[in-house]
Amino acid sequence: MNDERLDQALKTLSSAEAPECLEQRVLRRLETQRVEAPQGRRWLIPACALGACAVVALVVGIRFHRASPVPLVPAAANALPSQDLARSGALIASRRSIPLRRPHLVMKPTVEASYPASPAPLTEQEKLLVKLAQVRQRQATQAIEIAAVNQRTKDAEAALTHEEQLLVAVSRVRQDAVIDALDPVRRAAADAREKQEFNAYVRQKDGGS
């Protein structure tokens, strides 16, 4: 029954036509609402801004309250019985009355070595190198001494006069003659050498004159 009544009511409403003046009045009403709406709703902007600020302040306050919670210390944990306090005081006094013995440290004197450490023994190769260096040093010393003797001899011969040089040559010839008298081969060689020295002396004398 209810469904049939609803269907009939909808049919009558759909078939009914609105008067022409009603449409015009609705349009005019909409135009007046468009003009009055901005003027009447200006107070909503500051109200929304204040509401947003209040919400932000509330959120910040809640976060700060959660970030720094106040620790709740039970009173029973801090309150000690009188007997425990007396015992702790007696223990502290007994600990203070007992002298503490510190261990005596004995410092041993550090002895520094006043002499260098003994060198490691030389190997066979190192010993050979040392001997070779010593031999080379002796040879160099002998060569220097021989060179010095030869230089002194040359200097002494250069300082001699012509007659003294002749006497030295004659003495050498006599020494060679004594030696060559004992050996025929050396005697012949001495004769040839004597002739050469004599010829050289004659040429030198002729050139000097």
Tens digit of pLDDT for each residue in 77-132?
444 455 565 666 666 655 555 555 665 565 655 555 555 556 778 888 888 888 88
Angle, helices 162-182/184-208, rounded to nearest 10 degrees:
160
Whole-number pLDDT of residue 88: 64
Task: Report how far residue 197's alpha carbon sits from residue 5's, in angstroms, rounded to the nearest whole number.
Answer: 178
Indicate the pLDDT class of residue 196, thresholds 50, 70 and 90: confident
Collapse the DSSP code of 27 into the 3-class scheme (helix H, G, I; strand E, B; otherwise coil) and give the result.
Answer: helix
Task: Report how far residue 49's alpha carbon sits from residue 55's, in angstroms, rounded to the nearest whole number.
Answer: 10
Tens digit of pLDDT for each residue in 25-82?
777 777 777 665 555 556 666 677 777 777 777 777 776 666 555 555 544 444 445 5
Mean pLDDT of 150-178: 72
pLDDT higher than threshold 50 for residue 202: yes
Indicate the pLDDT class of residue 11, thresholds 50, 70 and 90: confident
Mean pLDDT of 159-182: 67
DSSP assignments along 128-141, one per residue:
HHHHHHHHHHHHHH
pLDDT higher than threshold 80 for residue 152: yes
Indicate the pLDDT class of residue 209, thresholds 50, 70 and 90: low
How long, in residues, is the chain?
Answer: 209
Beta strands in the chain (DSSP E): none
Whole-number pLDDT of residue 150: 84
